[in-house]
């Protein structure tokens, strides 16, 4: 009994999937058929009877090719778990320059909106994946889609035969029912091998995608460096530089008052000494923000432990032994950890955090977990998205698990070897 119900379920699920494959695969041929029908309806005497169908076929095929391919990838991933990379070119960052113009990777525009629209149009029209998508829609319409259309076509035939009397109609209806039931669990399965064979990106497309990714990373790095330089300049101008100017004025005044008012001169010198101490502290903090000395002297693990001691949270640090990495990687991971802990205090209102550092044969994995309220997401332009872009420069990545109510677990991975 259980086997029978399982078989019935397989038939029902297979029939639904076959209908989905047939609808997706025959969508563009349906546009072609509609174009031909339009040309026939207008008649041979109408000058638009041949031009309008051609325009409809061209525009409709190009506009529907990418949605059809995306739908096929979704169905294959959902039904079989096979993820087929799209290979589409990704848009790079749109950056505003000092001249006021916006650079989108192709040209300069006067506004951010115009730069984004121009970038999207150029990427859509110049993408190498367009030819692959158009080829795949033709292959799909000739292979998986007709096979998937067998079960629904058989059921339609059975329904038509059911309203017509006669032994031949009954016999044909019974045969159609047998075909629909027998082919239902299997008719849709041709979609996966066809999609894997013809829909995956080519080597040239993968190379172009990698070039776009590196271009975007270079632009992100340039923007981040410019922002960091501005921050350092601002901190120096508003902090240490102002104090050093005041220190020079105090010493000059004390020099003039040395003979006339020694007590006032000594008071000014004491103030100057206090200002020099404060300026030295600010310079040390500034240097620590650029590159902590303990990070260069003792490595990532000890630097993270020192950071945990100064954190307002109760932070527990665990490390899989002591290891040293390339300085740029250590710096990126250190400031990534610092940013995550700061977010846990500022946004998640956490009270405790755990930092784990481990290394294996493939690279380094750093986990930061807090007991905050959760809900953290990598939003475009946000800190977590920027962290992912910074680690992508080293072929790394970020994984975020942060349900509402917490806890939040962020995993940073970088492929590298220890020194």
- Asked whether residue 370 is domain-assigned, the answer is yes
Question: Last residue of a domain, which of 290, 311, 338?
Answer: 290
Judgement on whether residues 81 and 148 belong to the same structural domain of the protein: yes
Q: What percent of the chain is modeled with pLDDT above 70?
A: 75
Spatial contact of 337 and 292, defined as CB atoms under 8 Å apart:
no
Phi and psi of 348, rounded to 5°?
Answer: -90, -10
- Asked whether residue 318 is domain-assigned, the answer is yes
Paired with 398 in beta bridges are: 412
Flag the least confident range among 99-113, 252-266, 306-320, 367-381.
Answer: 252-266
Question: Last residue of a domain, which of 170, 198, 226?
Answer: 198
What is the pLDDT at residue 74? Answer: 92
Judgement on whether residues 273 and 315 belong to the same structural domain of the protein: no
Question: Last residue of a domain, which of 259, 290, 321?
Answer: 290
Beta 314-319 vs 352-359: how paired, if at all? parallel
Judgement on whether residues 331 and 360 belong to the same structural domain of the protein: yes
CATH assignment at residue 373: 3.30.565.10
What's the mean per-residue pLDDT of the chain?
A: 77
Judgement on whether residues 301 and 368 belong to the same structural domain of the protein: yes
What domain range is 142 assigned to? 2-87+127-198
Distance of CA 257 to the CA centre of its chain: 65
Could you report the per-residue pLDDT of 182-229, keeping only the tens digit for each?
787 888 888 999 998 888 877 666 666 666 666 666 656 655 565 656
Paired with 96 in beta bridges are: 102
What is the pLDDT at residue 71? Answer: 92
DSSP character at residue 88: P
Could you report the per-residue pLDDT of 22-40, keeping only the tens digit for each?
899 988 888 888 877 877 7
Domains contained in the chain, number: 3
Using DSSP's 3-state secondary structure scheme, residue 401 falls into strand
What is the pLDDT at residue 229? Answer: 61
pLDDT at residue 415 is higher than 60: yes
Tokens read off for 96:
């505003």
Paired with 188 in beta bridges are: none
Give the burial string for 239-264 (b: 16+ CB within 10 Å, else e). Answer: bbeebbeebeebbebbeebeeeeeee
- Asked whether residue 117 is domain-assigned, the answer is no
What's the Cα-to-Cα distance from 83 to each of 20, 277, 319, rounded to whole Å?
A: 18, 60, 34
pLDDT at residue 336 is higher than 70: yes
Phi/psi-derived region of residue 285, left when phi > 0, alpha when psi is between -120 and 50, beta in every other case = alpha
Between 146 and 262, the more confident residue is: 146
Judgement on whether residues 317 and 383 belong to the same structural domain of the protein: yes
Judgement on whether residues 193 and 286 belong to the same structural domain of the protein: no
Judgement on whether residues 311 and 338 belong to the same structural domain of the protein: yes
Could you report the per-residue pLDDT of 251-303, keeping only the tens digit for each?
777 677 777 777 777 777 777 777 677 666 666 665 555 566 677 677 788 88
pTM exceeds 0.85: no
418 pLDDT band, cuts 50/70/90, is low
- Asked whether residue 383 is domain-assigned, the answer is yes
CATH assignment at residue 240: 1.20.5
Judgement on whether residues 146 and 44 belong to the same structural domain of the protein: yes
- Asked whether residue 99 is domain-assigned, the answer is no
Q: Which of 6-10, 21-25, 311-315 has the highest mean pLDDT?
A: 21-25
Judgement on whether residues 286 and 332 belong to the same structural domain of the protein: no
Judgement on whether residues 365 and 233 belong to the same structural domain of the protein: no
- Asked whether residue 139 is domain-assigned, the answer is yes
Judgement on whether residues 56 and 163 belong to the same structural domain of the protein: yes
- Asked whether residue 241 is domain-assigned, the answer is yes
Judgement on whether residues 25 and 144 belong to the same structural domain of the protein: yes
Rounded CA gap, 147 and 140, in Å? 10
What is the torsion angle, in degrees rounded to the nearest 10, for the CA atoms of residue 113, residue 117, residue 120 and residue 122?
-130
- Asked whether residue 302 is domain-assigned, the answer is yes
Rounded CA gap, 370 and 378, in Å? 17
């Amino acid at each position: 009994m259980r086997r029978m119900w399982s078989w019935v379920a397989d038939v029902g699920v297979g029939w639904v999937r076959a209908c989905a494959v047939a609808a997706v695969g025959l969508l563009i041929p349906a546009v072609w058929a509609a174009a031909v029908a339009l040309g026939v309806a207008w008649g041979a005497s109408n000058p638009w009877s041949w031009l309008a169908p051609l325009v409809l076929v061209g525009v409709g095929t190009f506009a529907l090719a990418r949605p059809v391919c995306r739908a096929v990838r979704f169905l294959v991933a959902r039904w079989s778990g096979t993820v087929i990379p799209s290979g589409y070119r990704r848009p790079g960052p749109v950056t505003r320059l000092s001249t006021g113009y916006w650079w989108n990777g192709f040209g300069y525009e006067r506004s951010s909106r115009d730069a984004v629209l121009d970038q999207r149009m150029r990427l859509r029209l110049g993408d190498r994946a367009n030819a692959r998508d158009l080829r795949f829609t033709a292959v799909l319409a000739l292979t998986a889609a007709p096979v998937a259309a067998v079960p629904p076509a058989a059921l339609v035939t059975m329904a038509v035969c059911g309203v017509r009397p006669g032994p031949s109609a009954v016999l044909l209806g019974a045969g159609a029912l047998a075909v629909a039931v027998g082919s239902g669990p299997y008719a849709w399965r041709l979609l996966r091998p066809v999609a894997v064979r013809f829909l995956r990106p080519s080597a040239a497309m993968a190379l172009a995608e990698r070039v776009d990714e590196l271009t975007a990373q270079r632009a992100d790095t340039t923007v981040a460096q410019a922002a960091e330089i501005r921050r350092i300049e601002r901190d120096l101008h508003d902090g240490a530089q102002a104090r050093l100017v005041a220190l020079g004025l105090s010493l000059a005044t004390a020099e003039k008052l040395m003979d006339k008012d020694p007590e006032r001169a000594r008071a000014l010198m004491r103030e100057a000494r206090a200002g020099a101490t404060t300026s030295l502290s600010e310079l040390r903090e500034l240097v620590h923000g650029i590159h902590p000395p303990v990070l260069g002297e003792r490595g990532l693990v000890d630097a993270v432990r020192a950071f945990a001691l100064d954190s307002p949270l109760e932070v527990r640090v665990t490390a899989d032994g002591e290891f040293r990495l390339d300085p740029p990687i250590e710096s990126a991971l250190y400031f990534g950890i610092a940013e995550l802990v700061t977010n846990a205090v500022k946004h998640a209102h956490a009270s405790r955090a755990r930092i784990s550092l481990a290394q294996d044969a493939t690279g380094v994995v750093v986990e930061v977990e807090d007991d905050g309220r959760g809900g953290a997401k990598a939003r475009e332009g946000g800190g977590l998205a920027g962290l992912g872009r910074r680690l992508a420069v080293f072929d790394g990545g970020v994984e975020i698990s942060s349900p509402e109510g917490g806890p939040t677990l962020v995993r940073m991975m970088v492929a590298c070897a220890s020194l």
